[in-house]
Amino acid sequence: DNIVIHDREYIIWDKFSKKHKDWIGRVKNTNTDFLGKNIWLSRSGYETYRNEFIVEAVLNNHNWLIIDPTELSIEDQISIFSSANMVAGIEGTAFHNMIFCENIIDDIIIFSRRTSGKFNGNFPLISNAVSNGHQLKSPKVDSRGDADLDFIFAAIDIELNDRDNCMVSILSNQLSRTFLPESKNLLTDTIRDMSLFLIGKDNGLSLKLMEIAYDRRPNENLRKKITIIKNKMFKHGV
């Protein structure tokens, strides 16, 4: 008798073809929450750039959705890749979910997270099998773990305005003073600090940032400041 050994199928780092994609990718999108949105898949709190929170703050200012995939169901994570306008983020497990989509959007940009610029071998394999337009980008990452922000913003076609530059400057200064930048509360704290700094300079942006910080972590003092600024803006017809 002969022993028949079947050809290898999907193997991490080694083998993933369009045949595998066609067999696995059968999930139809039924969620319209992300339809037409620009989405950044956050790795805050995990292995990431030390300054990822600055990217998130700027993108939030440009009406991007900053999404922590761990807070979504698997179905919702999958739906992002078939309904969003653009999806970008730092390489990680969340991007593997695109293989389950029946129809995948073309505009997906994945940034390497290593100082070497090399990707986990899965991502080139998957990108070649499922996409016509996916991009794998490798920004420079220095020894501290800070990525080249200009490279990232250019890759996702974000042109920084004066408000963005102010935000980047303040958050970068905050980062240099912070011992644990990967803290999940860091983005909230720095947005709050920046909103207080901007009172009297740009009340509109200050109010927007306060409301973001309050939504992320409500507290009475911040609620009072939001009310005060709203009253001042109403009084002056802003």
pLDDT digits 0-9 by tens, 68-125:
998 899 889 989 998 999 999 999 888 988 888 888 888 999 999 888 888 877 788 8
Q: Which amino acid does the sequence have at 78?
A: I
Please state the pTM of the whole predicted model: 0.71
User: Which has the higher per-residue pLDDT, 198 or 164?
Assistant: 164
> Which CATH number does 18-159 carry?
3.40.50
Rg, C-alpha atoms of the chain: 21
Question: Beta 65-67 vs 38-41: how paired, if at all?
Answer: parallel
Is residue 57 within 8 A of residue 65, CB to CB? The reply is: no
Residue tagged 């220095």 (tokens): 142
Query: What pLDDT, on the 0 to 100 scale, is given for residue 182?
Result: 47
User: Do 89 and 59 contact (CB within 8 A), yes or no?
Assistant: no
How is the chain split into domains, by residue range? 18-159
Cβ neighbours of residue 126 closer than 8 Å, sequence gap 6 or more: 16, 21, 95, 96, 98, 99
**Mean per-residue pLDDT for 140-151?**
92
